[in-house]
């Protein structure tokens, strides 16, 4: 079993009530279980954010490399909007 360390935390009244309500409602056996699950969810969310950031950074780096090597095209918002409308119309008629 993992080593356990005891911490004391302070929560706003609304959060404390939510934790107590989850225990009183039978969803959890203890307030510690509520907090552990919340921390697991938080850690998973942070990991996903890091992955998304790394992916975005890779896209930006790829774009900057393309720019530096002359692989770029002019941005034309109207052309992009027209292509989007055409694709949308094709999917609606399918």
**What pLDDT does 56 receive?**
94
> pLDDT tier at 92 (50, 70, 90 boundaries)?
confident
Average pLDDT of 70-86?
A: 87
pLDDT reading at 93 higher than 80: no
Distance CA 81, CA 43 (A): 38
Average pLDDT of 60-84?
A: 89
| Model pTM score | 0.65
Rounded alpha-carbon distances, angstroms, from residue 91 to 2, 77, 78, 81, 84:
52, 21, 20, 15, 11
How does pLDDT run across 20-31, given as a tens digit for each residue?
999 999 999 999
The rounded Cα 73 to chain-centroid distance in angstroms is 31
Domain-wise residue ranges, the chain: 16-93
% the chain with pLDDT above 90 = 74
Rounded alpha-carbon distances, angstroms, from residue 37 to 47, 59, 60, 64:
15, 33, 34, 40
């Amino acid at each position: 079993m993992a080593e356990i360390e005891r911490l004391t935390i302070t929560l706003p009244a609304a959060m404390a009530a939510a934790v107590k309500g989850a225990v009183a409602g039978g969803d959890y056996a203890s307030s510690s279980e509520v907090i552990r699950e919340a921390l697991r969810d938080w850690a998973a969310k942070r990991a996903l954010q890091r992955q998304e950031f790394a992916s975005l950074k890779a896209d930006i780096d790829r774009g900057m490399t393309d720019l530096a090597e002359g692989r770029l095209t002019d941005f034309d918002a109207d052309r992009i909007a027209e292509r989007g409308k055409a694709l949308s119309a094709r999917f609606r008629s399918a």
